[in-house]
């Protein structure tokens, strides 16, 4: 585990991101077994350190992730100029710094220099001031990784909720919810539950788009004409998907506890119940990418920035979930590779009738 390198972006420097990171890693010693790399700036990190702690906390400047040492805060400086920090407010400066840190981290993420990426929260208004061309982390990272699609998946100990549409105005949701899109999201959720979370035959619940899941067409036709056919398509591909379920009754009755994963149609339909049930303990995971990205489930929390009141639990869970998924993926690949070797070994032995062990090599 000490070989795992986890990149951490500083997020909005006017918010609570750096406070949370410093508290978690330097004071609470979270992730001490891993090599963590903070993408940001040592001067800005020191500013936040002085606000929240009297402890002797050191930052170690490095140039590449390979130089990181476990158990300390290793920092890659993503800008050199002195900046004005305006705690509690979105500014073009805070957006530009967040953008620079994210771009450098994603560059290392794409190259494989870091094994996982944990992103501290950004403010969308500040990012727009900095001319960031994406609505959020998920969309930017998905594009940069060259993935056709990804899934925003909220994860806690007992709940995993994904969404078909991410940060989209509600008036645009119905047009964006298509049969093909729902099927892709179900497939991504099914795959990530198996590979990243170690569930052999995951049960997936799909929520309806309309109130009462359309009430058999009385409250909109989308659930019968789009959502249900997509679920049937998934079943035909071997996925254990069920629904569509009315969202209110599904969560209100506790039915969610019977499923390994839940797919909501839009942002608030999935995230409101998730945060009611798991706030402070949840993690935002971007499923469907070749590499692992997580983030805490809270925002920049400008109202408490600089007060030393920010909780670290969600960030720490994001850090550990990232490491766990890296480990789970490696174990999954090892098991599949070993299974292929055993099957090929048996085939060769049957064909030759040889008693001696036959060593085979499975290509990458």
Q: pLDDT by residue (tens digit) across 250-307?
A: 999 999 999 999 999 999 999 999 999 987 789 999 999 999 999 998 999 999 999 9
Question: Could you give the percent of the chain with pLDDT greater than 70?
Answer: 91
Query: Do 329 and 351 sit in the same domain of this protein?
Result: yes
- ∠ CA 118-165-332, nearest 5°, is 50
Say which residues have a Cβ less than 8 Å from residue 312's Cβ, sequence separation at least 6. Answer: 20, 23, 24, 28, 30
Q: What is the DSSP string of 8-70?
A: EE---TTTTHHHHHHIIIIIS-TTTTSEEEEEE-HHHHHHHHHHH--S---EEE-SSGGG--T
pLDDT in tens, 326-356: 999 999 988 876 654 445 444 444 444 444 3
- Evaluate the CA torsion angle 282, 126, 307, 32 in order and state its sign: positive
The CATH number for 154's domain is: 3.40.718.10
Q: Is 262 exposed, middle or buried (0-12, 13-18, 19+ CB in 10 A)?
A: buried
Query: Do 108 and 129 sit in the same domain of this protein?
Result: yes
Query: Do 157 and 264 sit in the same domain of this protein?
Result: yes
Query: Do 205 and 82 sit in the same domain of this protein?
Result: no
**Structure confidence at residue 55 (pLDDT):** 76
When pLDDT is averaged across residues 28-55 and rounded to a whole number, the result is 92
Confirm if 258 and 200 have CB atoms less than 8 A apart: no
Query: Do 140 and 181 sit in the same domain of this protein?
Result: no
When pLDDT is averaged across residues 225-231 and rounded to a whole number, the result is 98
Domain C-terminal end among 251, 285, 319: 285
pLDDT in tens, 110-128: 999 999 999 999 999 999 9
Query: Do 330 and 267 sit in the same domain of this protein?
Result: no
User: For residue 136, what are its two tokens?
Assistant: 């959020």
Q: Which helix (H) or strand (E) holds 286?
A: strand 283-287
Query: Do 2 and 87 sit in the same domain of this protein?
Result: yes
* Number of domains, the chain: 2
Query: Do 212 and 176 sit in the same domain of this protein?
Result: yes
220 φ, ψ (degrees, to nearest 5): 100, 145
Domain C-terminal end among 259, 285, 311: 285
pLDDT in tens, 151-166: 999 999 989 999 999 9
Residue 257: count other Cβ atoms within 10 Å of its Cβ: 9
Q: Are strands 160-163 and 151-155 parallel, antiparallel or unpaired?
A: antiparallel
Q: Containing domain of residue 8, as a range? A: 1-147+289-364
Single out the residue of 147, 230, 243, 227 nearest to residue 192, CA to CA.
Answer: 147
342 φ, ψ (degrees, to nearest 5): -65, -40
When pLDDT is averaged across residues 181-200 and rounded to a whole number, the result is 97
Query: Do 12 and 122 sit in the same domain of this protein?
Result: yes
Single out the residue of 235, 245, 224 nearest to residue 190, CA to CA.
Answer: 235
Query: Do 209 and 109 sit in the same domain of this protein?
Result: no
User: For residue 231, what are its two tokens?
Assistant: 């679920």
- ∠ CA 318-103-297, nearest 5°, is 25
Query: Do 84 and 136 sit in the same domain of this protein?
Result: yes
Place of tokens 């600089």: 306
**Structure confidence at residue 362 (pLDDT):** 31
Query: Do 243 and 276 sit in the same domain of this protein?
Result: yes
Domain C-terminal end among 285, 313, 346: 285
């Amino acid at each position: 585990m000490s070989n795992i390198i986890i990149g951490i972006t500083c997020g909005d420097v006017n918010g609570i991101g750096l406070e949370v990171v410093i508290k978690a890693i330097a004071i609470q010693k979270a992730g001490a077994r891993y090599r963590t790399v903070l993408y940001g700036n040592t001067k800005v990190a020191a500013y936040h350190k002085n606000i929240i702690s009297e402890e002797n906390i050191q930052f170690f400047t490095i140039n590449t992730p390979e130089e990181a040492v476990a158990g300390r805060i290793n920092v890659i400086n993503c800008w050199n100029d002195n900046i004005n920090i305006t705690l509690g407010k979105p500014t073009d400066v805070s957006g530009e710094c967040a953008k620079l840190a994210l771009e450098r981290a994603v560059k290392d993420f794409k190259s494989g220099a870091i094994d996982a990426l944990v992103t501290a929260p950004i403010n969308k208004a500040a990012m727009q001031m900095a001319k960031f061309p994406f609505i959020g982390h998920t969309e930017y990272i998905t594009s940069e990784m060259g993935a056709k699609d990804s899934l925003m998946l909220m994860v806690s100990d007992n709940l995993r909720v994904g969404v078909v549409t991410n940060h989209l105005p509600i008036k645009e949701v119905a047009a964006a919810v298509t049969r093909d899109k729902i099927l892709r999201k179900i497939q991504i959720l099914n795959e990530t539950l198996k590979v990243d979370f170690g569930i052999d035959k995951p049960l997936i619940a799909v929520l309806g788009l309309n109130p009462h899941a359309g009430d058999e067409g009385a409250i909109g036709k989308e659930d019968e004409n789009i959502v249900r056919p997509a679920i049937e398509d998934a079943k035909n591909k071997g996925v254990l998907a069920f629904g569509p379920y009315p969202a209110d009754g599904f969560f209100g009755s506790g039915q969610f506890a019977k499923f390994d994963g839940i797919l909501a149609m839009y942002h608030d339909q999935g995230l409101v119940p998730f945060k009611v049930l798991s706030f402070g303990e949840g993690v935002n995971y971007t499923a469907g990418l070749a590499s692992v990205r997580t983030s805490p489930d809270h925002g920049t929390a400008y109202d408490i920035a600089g007060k030393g009141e920010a909780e670290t639990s969600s960030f720490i869970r994001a850090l550990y979930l990232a490491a766990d998924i890296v480990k789970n993926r490696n174990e999954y690949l090892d098991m599949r590779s070993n299974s292929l070797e055993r099957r090929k070994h048996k085939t060769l032995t049957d064909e030759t009738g040889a008693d001696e062990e036959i060593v085979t090599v499975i290509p990458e």
